[in-house]
Every structure is written in structure tokens, then in C-alpha cells.
A = this chain, B = another copy of it.
Amino acid sequence: MAEKAPIIRFGIMGCATIAIKVSRAISLAPNSTVVAVASRSIDKARNFITAHGLPEGTRAYGSYEEILEDEGVDAMYVPLPTSLHLRWAVATAEKGKHLLLDKPVALCVADLDRILEACEANGVQYMDATMWMHHPRTVAMKELLSDQGRFGTLRSIHSVFSYGGGDPYFLENDIRMKPDLDALGVLGDAGWYSIRAILWASDYQLPTTAVAISNPIKNAAGVLLSCAATLTWDDGRFATFHCSFLTHITMEISIMGSRGVLNLTDFVIPYEESSAPFTFVSNSGFNEGSLGWIAPPEKYKVSTEIPQEALMVQEFSSLVGEMKSNGSKAEKKWPEISRKTQLVIDAVKASIDNGFQPVQVGK
């Protein structure tokens, strides 16, 4: 009889709003549980545990140092502001705890490399908390995109992620607008998702060049509120993306091939938890006389029993479980794609900073 997979015990480092969603996801994932929460104030940690129905006995800590000493914590979910990631993600790895790190994962690839080196050196699993990657819709779409007969050759990708619509309260108060906390602004926040989508659609082949579009919008502190860029590959493929805090919620990916086109408009957070739509059209064209189309796009809907963030936790815990039970090595896919995402962010940022000139994407 196979041994039951271990239940991975999570600590949560910081009571950010997103931690509410992820702590619920940890509870929903069958192989995961929350055992500890830390905040800079122990009262805040206690309130978080009570207010969000975490398991009885969940331990509260009033400092990040303390939760790192808890030997009952296998893995840490870290939703701290980006500027604190380097210190606390490295500390987490050095304590031998597996790391589920929220995005943007670092301020630059040099910082991320220090985090990844610490994970590697300490034999812990690393994963960034990009939830949509784990929805079964993402798998279903990739199957279609990989079908040469139905999708053909990838030609171009376009993605938008925006939200907030320029709401003044959000723009004045959110940590995403503070240069000392989240210096990458909307590029690290919303842009992260579109860049990941572009890499995902291109089988993680890094583009050669990034060029920012010339009119990004920044706040008075210099933090990006809206920007866009084009990414090009040497073979003629290209991608465009746009991220904004000034635009109504938009979550588009369009992926265009020689034989098919895939579209979705809720890629980051599906309209509803239990299923997610997309459309795909293949080998269509103009009908006789160009009066219409041979066939319109087909509508797909992919169900999921637990939400994508719980699937993310489940996947992470499954990898950690393999390491604990069988001595498996950490899965390298997750740090690799995280690093590629950061490389593209860095190149776009460099293009914005150098007056919208083309920038070679790093390696």
C-alpha cells in the first residue's frame, strides 16, 4: 500500500490582503495546512488567524524572525512587499523552509538570483505564486497551442492586465504605489502576469529584445502606473503587452498562429471559481464570396474542482512532499520560469529608463 502523501505545514509571513486568498487556498488544497502566521505585530497575526478561520492551534508570531524558528513549519508563503523579498526569502531558504514567493519576486534579477541560490544551496523548493499557471484551463490551452495541425506556427502574442481604473484611493494608498516597497509599480505587479503569459505561450523561449512604448505614466514618486512594451524574437515572432492601474479590469491574452487563434479575457482571475472559458478557432477563413467566416471560434469551458490558487498550493506541496518522502530534488522548472519573467521585466524597465530604446533581454 502506497504511503499517504504528507500534509505540508505552511507558515505565512505577513498579513497582506492577498494572504487571505492564499491561506484559504492552503486550507482547500488536500495536502496542505496553515500552522503559523507572522506579522510585525502579534495582534495582527492573531486577528488574521481568527478573522479568516484558520485551523485551531495556528500559531501567531509578532516577528518574521520567530516564525523562521518554528520547526513545525515546512514551507513559507511570503507575500511581503517586494523590497523585503531579498532579505526574507533568503532567510526562509536558509532555515530549510520551502518557499512560495508572491510576485513580483524581486526588484531585479540579481536579487532573484540570490534568492534562487539560497533555495538551491539549502535544498528547498521555490515557486512563485502565479495562480493562473495552475488552472486546468492553462493545460487545455497549451494542448491546443502545441497541436501543429490546429495552431500551426506561433506568430504573435498580445496580453493586457489592468485593474483599478485610476481609483484615487487605490492610487494614493496601495503599497504598489510606494517606491520604497514596490519599486517596479505596475510593471512588476500586473505586467508580471502578461510577461509570464507571453513566455508561457512561446514555450519559455526568451525574446531577444524589449522596447517600451514611449508614454508610460508614473505617479509623483516616480512609480509606474501604466506602461506597455513590445518583445521580439529573431525569427519574426513578437509580442505586445500593456499593464495599467488606470484602466478598467482587463485580462486578455490573444495568441495568433498560422493556423489558429486562441483568445481569453479573464486569464489572471477567471470570472468565476469553478470554471474558466476561452475561445479557439482553427483552419477557418472567409467563406464563399467573403460574406462571413467558414467557422467562428469555438467556445471552451474548463471546470475545476478547487480554485486555481488551491491547485497552485497543491502542486507546490506535492513537490515538497516528494522531497520529504522520497528525497527527490527540487523541481527546477519553477525557478527557471520565474527568472525568465524577471529578465523580461528588467529589460522593459531598462528600456523605459533609457528613453524607450531597444534593450537586449539578459540571459
Contacts and interface: CB of A to CB of B under 8 A. Distances in A.
B254 A232 contact: no
Interface string A65-84: 00000000000000000000
Contacts of A220: none
Interface string A139-157: 0000000000000110110
Interface string A226-243: 101010111010101010
B286 A269 contact: yes
Q: How many copies does the complex hold?
A: 2
Interface stretch (A86-94, A244-252, A328-336, A337-345): A244-252
Contact of A158 (B155, B242, B282, B307): B242
A215 B307 CA distance: 39
Interface string A287-313: 001111100110000000001000000
The CB with the most chain B CB atoms within 10 A, among A21, A217, A233, A250, is that of: A250
B240 A158 contact: yes
Contacts of A270: 292
Given A228-B156, A272-B292, A286-B269, A258 B247 contact: yes
A53 interface: no
A256 B265 contact: no
A211 to B, nearest CB: 7
Given A226-B155, A265-B263, A232 B214 contact: yes
Interface residues of A, number: 69
A155 B247 contact: yes
A257 interface: yes
Contact of A247 (B240, B246, B247, B257): B257
A260 B226 CA distance: 16
Interface string A8-51: 00000000011011001000000000000000000000000000
A160 B254 contact: yes
A20 B284 CA distance: 21
A180 interface: no
A209 interface: yes
A258 B293 contact: no
Contacts of A113: none
Interface of A: 17-18, 20-21, 24, 152-153, 155-156, 158, 160, 162-163, 165-166, 209, 211, 213-215, 217, 226, 228, 230, 232-234, 236, 238, 240, 242, 244, 246-250, 252, 254, 256-261, 263, 265-266, 269-273, 279, 281-286, 289-293, 296-297, 307, 358
29 contacts: A20-B289, A21-B291, A24-B289, A155-B244, A155-B247, A156-B228, A156-B242, A156-B244, A158-B242, A165-B258, A165-B285, A211-B214, A214-B230, A214-B358, A215-B233, A228-B238, A228-B240, A240-B240, A247-B257, A247-B258, A248-B257, A248-B258, A249-B281, A250-B254, A250-B256, A269-B286, A269-B290, A271-B292, A271-B293
6 residue pairs, one from A and one from B, having the closest CB atoms: A271-B296, A155-B247, A165-B258, A272-B292, A271-B293, A247-B256
Given A152-B248, A248-B261, A250-B261, 8 more contacts: A155-B244, A211-B214, A246-B258, A249-B281, A249-B286, A271-B292, A271-B296, A272-B296
